[in-house]
Structure 1
Amino acid sequence: MSLILRLFLAHARQQKVRLALTLTAMIAAIGVVLWVVSAYEKIASKFEDQTANFVGAYEVFVIPTELDDQLSPELLTALENDRMIAAVNPVAQFRMSIRRVGPPPEGAGPPGRGMGRMGPTIVGTNSLEPRYELSDGRWLKEDATDEAVISSGIAKTLTVRPGDSIEIVDKEKRPSSFTVVGVVEQVDDVEFAMMRTKGGAPGGTNRGPASLATYIPMSAVEPLTGSAPAINLAELRLDAALKMDKLEQKVASVADNAELLRPADIQAKIAGGFEAEGARKQAYFVTALSILASAFIIFTTLSMGVNERARQLAVLRAVGLRRMQVASLVVTEALALALFGWLGGLLGGWLLLQALASATPQLFPDGVALGGASVLLTGCCSLFGALLASIFPIWKATRISPLEAMAPLQVAPGGFRSYGAIGLVSLLLIAINPLLVYLPGLPETLRFALVLLVGAPATIVGFILLAPLFVLVVEKIFSPVVATVMRLQNNLVQTQLSANMWRSAGIAASLMLGLGLYTATQVWGWSMLSGFLPGRWTPDVIVKFDPGLPVETVEKVRQTEGVLADQFLSVAVEQTKLVGDPLKSREKDSAVRQDNVCLIGLDAAAGLGGDSPLFRLEFVQGTREEAIAKLQQGRYCILPDTFQRLAGLNVGDKVGFIPPSDPDNPVEYEIAGIAAMPGSNWITKTTGLRRNSVRTAGLAFASERQVRDDFKLPNREFFWLNVASGVTAEQLQERLQTLVASSRGGGRPNGETGPGREAAARGESTRQPPVAAAAGPPARGPGRGRGRGGRDGPVQVSSIKDVRDSMRSRAGAAINAMGWLPLITLVVVSLGIVNTIAASVRARRWEFGVLRAVGLKRFGLSRLVLSEALLIGAVASLLSLAFGVVVGWSCLGLVRYVSNAWFEGVATSLIIPWTSLWFGYALTFVLCTIAALWPAISAGRTEPLTLLQAGRAAT
């Protein structure tokens, strides 16, 4: 056995408890990585199966390159005449609303809400076989004209089964009846991944095969749309000999507006979907976190070992041990900790996964397994953490002189001046990352690379170097407080940390790793939410009547119980496209880079004038008085400040709007003012203001009379108002529904046609589920309940306060979910506190023996050790708060400008959410106190003579 190995084993036998605690912490860190990475591997293992399920009975698809385009007849003919293509199925896909005919079956419960805002895709096809597997009924017959097959999601939402009837409703609200003859399986998760906008958010349109769909015969398409079917998808089944690149060349040679959608493309979309992308990023994040945690844990252990064995190492150097052998001893200890921590982590993580699979088998239908990526990443975490942690201890150990064997050299702790100089260097390092994030003019790719490779490491190193200065500040300010609380003399407490500066700074920096990142996630999350949270610049309630009310009914709405009559406005609303796409959404869309706005027509004097205006807009350009005067003249408008930042538009410029009812005759408005409208984008999402598109750039204001004239809006459909204190959205909706029913004699809305009205004439039930309304997966935003904008009847009441509260609640849950990994890291690293405080006790045994000898009682000595833990908690808390705010602020800019284009243009402000942070900081003090209990009790129970003898032997 080599000399280095024998020395390591001797030290391990001497420090069994310390090594056991270190290994426990390492095992916990590796186990967390194994858990998260295994979860991602589980998701990734399904990619191929999900792709095969989504492709269905076909192998490849031809789609137009532009969303609104269609495939040319020449291309379809060329594909059909190619002998290497076994089957070609041209498909026409388009959006229309559907609804059930007649009441649902008894016991069916309330109708579901699973089809979003724009309804399912209607698929016209001549195929004699289904793309997806039938779960009930049969497929369309060849000569059928009024049959339909629906996906399982529609069947569940509308409680429809084969034999029932549905209506497909066109844009003019004319229904066409179809008999459901079959139900096919629906591939929800894949279609959700396929629906991504250019900016990266979900909610776009899937140009490939639709899964949430109603299949009808191709012959029924023209009666529905009023024009010949627009073929925008060709489903192909290929001969085995046909190469995909040959097919791609053929398509490109015939048509320049078409492209292939291959299984590989679909799989790439799935891999980049929200679920997979979130799991992958979480795996990367926790791996990096574990490497740092492992490094700090091993660093603390090695540093303590070097400090405590300084005389021993000096003796070994005096008898001939070379510097390289000393370094090898430290490296051997680090690698041993890494190896056993890795193996223990694999075993512990595996047992945890097995326990989870046994407790929740529905989440692990195929069982659990350790993939190669899990084993490799956990091994890398241990190895890199160990090597990183051993650098400074190796340097320190090899600098020990043989002369120190005679008498250890005492190193006086530095003062404010020396640590202040280090602090100045650390501030310069900390400033690098924010400078890289917010410096204008840097290309995005270069900025991201510099932040990742230079900025982030500089921030971590900077705060580690700043820790000693925080130690001195905390001792100076908080030691009197701690001394008073613990009933100790201040001169005993005020040097608890600085006497062993780098040990104290090291453990504070270790705790910062978890607590600081927890702070950063909270600061970043709540700051990002601020850009979407509806501000308090509007009245609180939006009421929508479908269809609108005649003018003479407006006063009845104003006088409804609970409505504040003097804080009430009838508004005209149209979601209108912009002429020329000034926000350049076609190049790079985002939450506010869209090709349309929700134009709000209002009485300018009533809505914007007075000492307490209903709309409390903060003008960035122009004034409120000037804007009111111009809006009263005619075609003037007020735009959000995003138009100034992203489009360069200013007061006096003109912007064109395209009326949906007359797209060939756009109207032009001059900008009367630019105003800040925080959250206007989200207000439109949950209140029914988005009438024609899933996304919008926000709100714009103009004259009510002008908007009604330009966009043909005679009826009063929307009202914006405030209500009396205590009146809820549910109560107001009930009162307004009663008002509508009484004004219409209890019948259905005026002008409504279709089987529902005919059924009412026959005395049958007219209960209808809500019309399906959106593309893609179920909408996940707030405000979908009856009280926050129910869509069950002719009245929809939306409280912006409820929307705001719901957003805070949902966002808070998501932000807290992001914080659990840093908190777990905090718990893992806290195991190292036990080692640190135990080492501190051992290093001061002579001092403690003297204190006991001159009269300090057992409990007093225990309180002194606990005071050190409280001071470490204070240092870690202040350091983590500074670290978290800086990192959260940097991430705020990084997300807005670099890593996620979807947030470009969203105005966010730095928010420190104190009410959300208290748990992490309270947990830190609890962990520090628990970690100090055993060393404190042990020190208090030791006799003074034993302490004096042990302390003398150590020197």
Structure 2
Amino acid sequence: MFRTALRNVLAHKARLLMTVLAVMLGVAFVSGTLVFTNTISDAYQKSSQKGFTGVDVAVQPHKQDSGKSNPGAAARLPQSLLDQLGKVPGAASATGSVSGFAAVADKNGKLAGEGFNSSGANYYPGADGKDPRYPLKSGRAPHGAGEVALDAKTAERAGYKVGDTVRISVDGPVLPQKVTGVFTTEDGNVAAGGSLALFDTTTAQKLYGKPGEFDEIDVKAAAGTSQAALKSAVEKVLPKDAEATTGRQLADDQAKVITQSMDGMRTILLVFAGISLFVGIFIIANTFTMLVAQRTKELALMRAVGASRRQVTRSVLIEAFVVGSVAGVTGLLAGIGIGAGLRVLIGNTGATVPDGPLVVSPGTIVTSLIVGVVVTMLAAWLPGRRAAKIPPVAAMNSVHAVATTKSLMVRNSIGGVLTALGAAVVLTASGSTTMGLGAALVLIGVFVLTPLLSRPVIAAAAPLLRPFGMPGKLARQNAVRNPRRTAATASALMIGLTLITGLTVIAGSVQQAIDKMATGSLKADYVVSMAGMTPLSTDVEKKLAAHPDVTATSPLRSSPSRIDGDHQELTGVDGRTIGKLTNLEFTAGSFGGLTGDKVVVDDATARTKHWKPGSSFPVTFEDGKQGRLTVSGVYKGNDLMRGIMLDARTLTPHQSQVDDRQVMVKVKGGANENTEDSLRKALGDNPAIQIQTKQDISDGISKAIGLLLNMLYGLLAMAVVVAVLGVINTLAMSVFERQQEIGMLRAIGLDRKGIKRMVRLESLIISLFGGVLGIGLGVFFGWAAGDLIKKGISTYELVLPWGRMGVFLLLAALVGVLAALWPARRAAKLNMLSAIKAE
């Protein structure tokens, strides 16, 4: 039986090629994902470990947010502690670090580096006048308020060299700085495409609001002192609000953070690889079902001469094992190429990844082989078991060929129950997990029901096929002749289009909801903020308020507080102008009278705290002082505006460092290009400052959604490719099975063009059947998911993208046309006499 199984595999090379390709694509996706994420993760981890090579013990603030401490209280690492740590037993030196946001403009006035990764720090020279963390490549260290050193990658990218003047912004105002040095660094942010600017320690402390204080103190061990021993010595002199960590532990923690950050990407990619494999299962099962059907008499003869049912099933599984092994190995090799290609692709997009070797771990190899073999054998098990159950005499007489009415009734009953149960779960879902479970049940239920659905849906296409004459009539009959096969073939395409349509419906609806939110909640013409949403200097609002075209401004100023023992963020606004700049709907009260101890709160907070207009509550401000605030209004919050708002004049005296999150601006004549240019010039043409209209805010979110959607389309394209292979596979085998029929049709007058047209129309019908089911299910899932999204976005409404859905249906038709090219050509080339004589 083993030799027979191998002979059958080798005897049907072309027939099994499509199956191997289907499995190989799924395995390649899995292995490529693992190789890519492991490679990137390993590169970042090694880069991060290099960054900790000069750190044996790091001392950092340790904030305990208890009910007794001030909400804004932060631990301090003063110069006196730095001096003390440099003298502990076993310490060779101690270095103080200060860091924050620092945007560097290139020579064209654009931001060098990428928002969140644009950072600044201090150059802390040791006894030799050098900072070992930042080896100078050229020039010297910065001294004084007007000097800066740039990392080598930023200097090269922005076109700066020693002696040039660079425009830098920390919190809004532009700071012209002379470049005194260019340095190299192992900083992971720089490796990822960000920028790093170094100031002298005194300047950095002033810029980041920490005069005489440090964010971190790194202690280097003397020769012969272990990190653990140095940590013990350091802990003896530390205050209660500081903690010590070994450099090894910091590196391990950083590695965990990097691994966790890659886990999200890995999970998303593996989900789509799983979808491709899931689609592949239909193709494999379909293929083996047809292969077994073609060899029914052969298997029956084996049973008649003594082979047991187990041996017949085992022979089919051996074939599947061979196919899965070949697909697993080729998929692994293809996946290694995909992993390498993805890394190159990321580099070409402008993102910088640390150098490192391609990582192909033993786990990746084992996973790829297991996936290839297990998926194929699972898909082949049912056809093999079904073949083994057929009595030898019945098989030889082909009595088994037609599925019984009872089996179809059982299948339809199961499909109906699964679909109804899944729809009920989806409609009553209260979370994404429940929704996902319900969606999976509906998808499986509809798949089980597809043989039942195929007849009425395909019958509805009969009027469209009449103009094609006899080939059209034959195509329709062939499509419904074997509803199980048609269902399995159409389901592969249905799954891909269900996901694509559902995502498109949700994305379009969310985008419209954001548009409504931006235009509905803001009256301001512009919202001004820093790149990366870092703090904005209060000087920015003063300059904007003084502009002749500006009629009203208001800051959004955040400060931590404690209310009823819970941490709560307070937002300071200009109580005199906020009503002119926002268009929030109040359920009670208004912005009028927002002065002194009066506040307005969003409806969600009011419900949680049981507040209403007139309610009074105690508050502990950032500086530890206590007071009472009174609710004067309750408004409907959204993702743009929510929380507790009070007059900035009340909040500012309690803040240790006063800065703004955003500034809202109203101008004469509304937003226009000339006014925007004028505002930019008033702020020093600072590339780090964003001046956005309501449309800009909406477009920015839309761009992010569009980018994500395009990535998902690209990932789902793999499932569609697998589905195309499935249609080709089904048609090729259908042509093989119907050789006698095709030969007879040729003999009675149907020419080669008619044969080609018949096969193409059959493929088109099956593909459109899958497309219609997929689009319908996608719309259902998009509608059902809307109820969950509405809880977070009140302006959400279902939007059906008719244009894109039309494109998806055309895509399904194109799949059918392309998939039929080879099978149709093969059918037309059959010799009619040989085909009629074929068994």
Alpha-carbon deviation of 1:117? Answer: 8.0
The 1:92–1:654 alpha-carbon spacing in structure 2 relative to 1, beyond 3 Å, is farther
- Mapped to 1, the partners of 2:544 and 2:289 lie a distance apart of 81
Cα shift readout 1:530-560 (whole Å, capped 9, x = no counterpart): 6755432134722769454798x88x637xx
Is the Cα contact below 8 Å between 1:327 and 1:394 reproduced in 2? yes
The 1:168–1:401 alpha-carbon spacing in structure 2 relative to 1, beyond 3 Å, is closer
Comparing 253-262 with 38-47, greater Cα deviation is found at 253-262
Aligned to 1:807: 701
Question: Does residue 423 of the first structure (1) align with residue 415 of the second (2)?
Answer: yes
Map 1:524-923 → 2, pairs under 5 A:
525-526=507-508, 534-537=517-520, 538-539=522-523, 541-542=525-526, 546=540, 548=542, 557=549, 570-577=552-559, 579-580=561-562, 595-597=569-571, 599=573, 601=575, 607=580, 617-618=584-585, 621-622=587-588, 627=590, 631=593, 638-644=600-606, 653=615, 668-677=629-638, 679-680=639-640, 698=642, 719-720=665-666, 729-734=672-677, 770=686, 784=690, 789=691, 798-845=692-739, 847-848=741-742, 856=750, 858-884=752-778, 913-916=801-804, 919-923=807-811
Give 3-state SS (helix, strand or coil) of 2:270's partner. helix
Alpha-carbon deviation of 1:329? Answer: 1.0
Comparing 226-235 with 317-326, greater Cα deviation is found at 226-235
Cα shift readout 1:271-313 (whole Å, capped 9, x = no counterpart): 5449734542345335424543443332222111122222332
- Picking from 220, 223, 248, the partner of 1:237 is 220
Aligned to 1:397: 387
Aligned to 1:84: 90
Aligned to 1:328: 314
Is the Cα contact below 8 Å between 2:475 and 2:762 reproduced in 1? yes
Alpha-carbon deviation of 1:322? Answer: 0.5
AA aligned to 1:399 is: K
- Mapped to 1, the partners of 2:29 and 2:742 lie a distance apart of 39
Aligned to 1:280: 266
The 1:296–1:244 alpha-carbon spacing in structure 2 relative to 1, beyond 3 Å, is farther
Aligned to 2:450: 467
Alpha-carbon deviation of 1:863? Answer: 2.8
- Mapped to 2, the partners of 1:430 and 1:904 lie a distance apart of 24
AA aligned to 1:499 is: R
The 1:185–1:530 alpha-carbon spacing in structure 2 relative to 1, beyond 3 Å, is farther
Structure (1 or 2) with the greater helix fraction: 2
Is the Cα contact below 8 Å between 1:291 and 1:384 reproduced in 2? no
Alpha-carbon deviation of 1:510? Answer: 2.1
The 1:275–1:834 alpha-carbon spacing in structure 2 relative to 1, beyond 3 Å, is same
AA aligned to 1:573 is: P
Cα shift readout 1:750-809 (whole Å, capped 9, x = no counterpart): xxxxxxxxxxxxxxxxxx663867xxxxxxxxxx5xxxx2xxxxxxxx321133234323
Give 3-state SS (helix, strand or coil) of 2:109's partner. coil
- Mapped to 2, the partners of 1:831 and 1:81 lie a distance apart of 71
Give 3-state SS (helix, strand or coil) of 2:731's partner. helix
AA aligned to 2:94 is: V
- Mapped to 1, the partners of 2:46 and 2:116 lie a distance apart of 29
Is the Cα contact below 8 Å between 1:30 and 1:382 reproduced in 2? yes
Cα shift readout 1:242-264 (whole Å, capped 9, x = no counterpart): 55556666666655432426445
The alignment-based identity, stated in percent, is 21
- Mapped to 1, the partners of 2:205 and 2:722 lie a distance apart of 65
- Picking from 254, 268, 291, the partner of 1:305 is 291
Aligned to 1:925: 813
Is the Cα contact below 8 Å between 1:149 and 1:216 reproduced in 2? no
Taking structure 1 as the reference length, the TM-score comes to 0.70
Aligned to 1:205: none
Is the Cα contact below 8 Å between 1:342 and 1:382 reproduced in 2? yes
Map 1:100-139 → 2, pairs under 5 A:
108-110=107-109, 112-114=111-113, 116=115, 120-123=119-122, 125=124, 127-128=126-127, 129-130=130-131, 131-139=133-141
Is the Cα contact below 8 Å between 1:308 and 1:843 reproduced in 2? yes
Aligned to 2:402: 411
Cα shift readout 1:308-358 (whole Å, capped 9, x = no counterpart): 222332232222210011111110111111111223334445567788999
The 1:20–1:730 alpha-carbon spacing in structure 2 relative to 1, beyond 3 Å, is same
The 1:909–1:271 alpha-carbon spacing in structure 2 relative to 1, beyond 3 Å, is farther
Map 1:936-951 → 2, pairs under 5 A:
936-942=824-830, 947-950=835-838
- Mapped to 2, the partners of 1:645 and 1:215 lie a distance apart of 48
Is the Cα contact below 8 Å between 1:576 and 1:598 reproduced in 2? yes
The 1:84–1:549 alpha-carbon spacing in structure 2 relative to 1, beyond 3 Å, is closer
- Mapped to 2, the partners of 1:473 and 1:656 lie a distance apart of 68
- Mapped to 2, the partners of 1:217 and 1:603 lie a distance apart of 40
Aligned to 2:70: none
Alpha-carbon deviation of 1:387? Answer: 2.5
AA aligned to 1:799 is: T
- Mapped to 2, the partners of 1:115 and 1:649 lie a distance apart of 42
Is the Cα contact below 8 Å between 1:151 and 1:183 reproduced in 2? yes
Aligned to 1:443: none
Aligned to 1:260: 245
The 1:98–1:471 alpha-carbon spacing in structure 2 relative to 1, beyond 3 Å, is closer
- Mapped to 2, the partners of 1:821 and 1:924 lie a distance apart of 17
AA aligned to 1:720 is: K
AA aligned to 1:136 is: S
Alpha-carbon deviation of 1:136? Answer: 2.2
Is the Cα contact below 8 Å between 1:413 and 1:498 reproduced in 2? no
- Mapped to 2, the partners of 1:300 and 1:139 lie a distance apart of 70
Comparing 59-68 with 361-370, greater Cα deviation is found at 361-370
Aligned to 1:385: 375
Taking structure 2 as the reference length, the TM-score comes to 0.78
For structure 2, the residue ranges without an aligned partner over 5 or more in a row are: 64-72, 529-538
AA aligned to 1:63 is: Q
For structure 1, the residue ranges without an aligned partner over 5 or more in a row are: 195-209, 440-446, 559-568, 587-593, 608-613, 682-697, 741-748, 750-767, 774-783, 790-797, 898-902
- Mapped to 1, the partners of 2:783 and 2:53 lie a distance apart of 46
- Mapped to 1, the partners of 2:773 and 2:18 lie a distance apart of 25
Give 3-state SS (helix, strand or coil) of 1:127's partner. coil
Map 1:497-512 → 2, pairs under 5 A:
497-512=479-494
The 1:644–1:889 alpha-carbon spacing in structure 2 relative to 1, beyond 3 Å, is farther
Alpha-carbon deviation of 1:380? Answer: 2.2
The 1:699–1:187 alpha-carbon spacing in structure 2 relative to 1, beyond 3 Å, is farther
- Mapped to 1, the partners of 2:394 and 2:174 lie a distance apart of 96
- Mapped to 2, the partners of 1:187 and 1:502 lie a distance apart of 59
Equivalent residues, number? 799
The 1:228–1:34 alpha-carbon spacing in structure 2 relative to 1, beyond 3 Å, is closer
Alpha-carbon deviation of 1:829? Answer: 3.3
Aligned to 1:792: none
AA aligned to 1:57 is: G
- Picking from 814, 822, 826, the partner of 1:934 is 822
The 1:436–1:88 alpha-carbon spacing in structure 2 relative to 1, beyond 3 Å, is farther
